[in-house]
Amino acid sequence: MPELPEVETVKVGLAKLLPGRMVLGVEHDWDKSFPNTEVDVQAFLIGAKVIAVRRRAKVLMIDLDSSYSLIIHLKMTGQLVYVDDKSKVQSSNIKDQINLKHQNSKTPTSTFHLSSSKLGRFGGGHPGDSLIGELPDRSTRVVLELDGANLFFNDQRKFGWIKLLPTSEVKQLDFFRKFGPEPLSPDFTGEAFARILDRRARSSIKAALIDQTVVAGVGNIYADESLWAARIHPATKTYLVDDISRRRLLHELRKILRLSIEKGGSTDRNYVDAEGKKGSYLHFANVFRRDGRPCVRHPGTRIEKIRVAGRGTHICHRCQKLLFDI
DNA sequence: CACTTGACCTGTCCGC
DNA sequence: TGCGGACAGGTCAAGT
């Protein structure tokens, strides 16, 4: 579940690898993953060079020198993995392995027609670091062919997408304008956070925190972790959370997001960075996916999993007391 | 308008 | 062992 720290980690990785590279071709086998029928892909993508890689909320942007940008949302299970031609698989039996994989797969044979020289391999020398085998695999939806490399967009659940749009239009999209402040932006103050939460006064504080129009980039993992750290019950109505607690929540959220970025993000099931490596933040998590285990602040109390705002939610009921109206 | 629910998808896990 | 159903949760559209 890529949230801010995961998307930031991918951005940092791609920003080292992509700028200066030219796009030579693009292939996809699922239209919703690459919904660009209204755009002249030949004119504005093929032959263009990457200028920069950016992030806003959970969205990645790859700016091209054609004055267009690739806008990418990984949603739940998206991965963007870069494979340079040096990782090319030499062995001739790779074709057989891919064919075997497709025979065993329930899904129809891939429509990709990359030559074997375009196939890449992961995991060599780093057992356990990678979730990725040879690419493309059966979750590969889009392949960007670059000079000297391939960028694979894998997405098991097909929720993610890559759109090609004029760079100047990106910020004008409703989709982008609605995002709230970046939580790590230095000019986003505790006071501003406290006030912006008033817009979701009557919903739960967790629903407010994962609302992208309130603050950008927070999803289920970092909502649960920051609410535990700030000792706020996720189901508390926002208007019952006082200003002191709101400021504490932003403070804890920032600490957690920074730590997670330092650890390369959270790998729960699918997430990997631009080089196919897992993130290690969940080793430092205090509640997320820790239901049934002792709370580190109250070892006699076990972490519970409840449902708040329609999401699985992890709490310590001793740390996080639910406040009621009178 | 504020807020909640269902749909979009596939892989995994659990109970029968 | 197989099979149906619940579950995972980011976002938008539709519903209350």
- In angstroms, the CA A289 to CA A285 distance is 8
Please indicate whether residue A58 is annotated as part of the active site. yes
Residue A104 pLDDT greater than 50, yes or no? no
Return the percentage of chain A with pLDDT > 70, whole number.
86
Closest residue (CA) to C1' of nucleotide B11 is A156
Through-space separation of residue A243 CA and nucleotide B8 C1' in angstroms: 38
Residue A11 pLDDT greater than 90, yes or no? yes
Confidence band of A286 (pLDDT split at 50, 70, 90): very high
Q: Give the helix/strand (H/E) hosting A80.
A: strand A78-84
Residue A131 pLDDT greater than 70, yes or no? no
Q: How many other CB atoms are there within 10 angstroms of residue A191's CB atom?
A: 12
Return the percentage of chain A with pLDDT > 90, whole number.
74
- In angstroms, the CA A269 to CA A279 distance is 11
- In angstroms, the CA A251 to CA A230 distance is 8
Please indicate whether residue A95 is annotated as part of the active site. no
> Residues A21, A30: contact at Cβ < 8 Å?
no
Averaged confidence pLDDT in chain A? 86
Confidence band of A92 (pLDDT split at 50, 70, 90): very low
Choice among A11, A21, A58, A290 that is catalytic: A58
Residue A305 pLDDT greater than 60, yes or no? yes
In total, chain A counts a number of residues equal to 326
pLDDT recorded at residue A124: 32
- In angstroms, the CA A51 to CA A39 distance is 20
Give per-residue pLDDT as tens, A166-192: 999 998 888 888 899 999 999 999 999
Through-space separation of residue A53 CA and nucleotide B14 C1' in angstroms: 43
CA dihedral A82, A85, A87, A89 (to 10 degrees): 120
Whose CA is closest to A137, among A195, A97, A91? A97
> Residues A271, A265: contact at Cβ < 8 Å?
yes
pLDDT recorded at residue A112: 53
Through-space separation of residue A175 CA and nucleotide B2 C1' in angstroms: 20
Lowest-confidence range among A71-85, A122-136, A252-266, A287-301? A122-136
Cβ-based contacts (< 7 Å) between A 167-206 and strand C: 175
pLDDT recorded at residue A128: 40
Residue A96 pLDDT greater than 50, yes or no? no
- In angstroms, the CA A196 to CA A282 distance is 29
> Residues A245, A262: contact at Cβ < 8 Å?
no
Q: Which nucleotides of B are covered by protein (CB under 7 A)?
A: 2-6, 8-11
Q: In whole angstroms, how large is the CA radius of gyration of chain A?
A: 21
Through-space separation of residue A88 CA and nucleotide C2 C1' in angstroms: 40
Closest residue (CA) to C1' of nucleotide B12 is A269
Q: What mean pLDDT comes out for the span A315-326?
A: 87
Please indicate whether residue A182 is annotated as part of the active site. no
Q: What mean pLDDT comes out for the span A16-25?
A: 97
pLDDT recorded at residue A129: 53
A311 Cβ contacts chain B strand, under 7 Å: no
pTM: 0.89
Q: Which nucleotides of C are covered by protein (CB under 7 A)?
A: 7-12
* Antiparallel, parallel or unpaired: β A304-308 and A78-84: unpaired
Please indicate whether residue A177 is annotated as part of the active site. no
Q: What mean pLDDT comes out for the span A281-309?
A: 93
Give per-residue pLDDT as tens, A188-237: 999 999 999 998 999 999 999 999 999 999 999 999 999 999 999 999 99
Q: How many other CB atoms are there within 10 angstroms of residue A81's CB atom?
A: 25
Q: What mean pLDDT comes out for the span A295-315?
A: 92
Q: How many other CB atoms are there within 10 angstroms of residue A43's CB atom?
A: 11
Residue A63 pLDDT greater than 80, yes or no? yes
For residue A187, the SS3 value is: coil
> Residues A65, A193: contact at Cβ < 8 Å?
no
- In angstroms, the CA A292 to CA A303 distance is 5
Through-space separation of residue A214 CA and nucleotide B12 C1' in angstroms: 33
What would the two tokens of residue A312 be?
């699985």
Q: What mean pLDDT comes out for the span A99-107?
A: 39
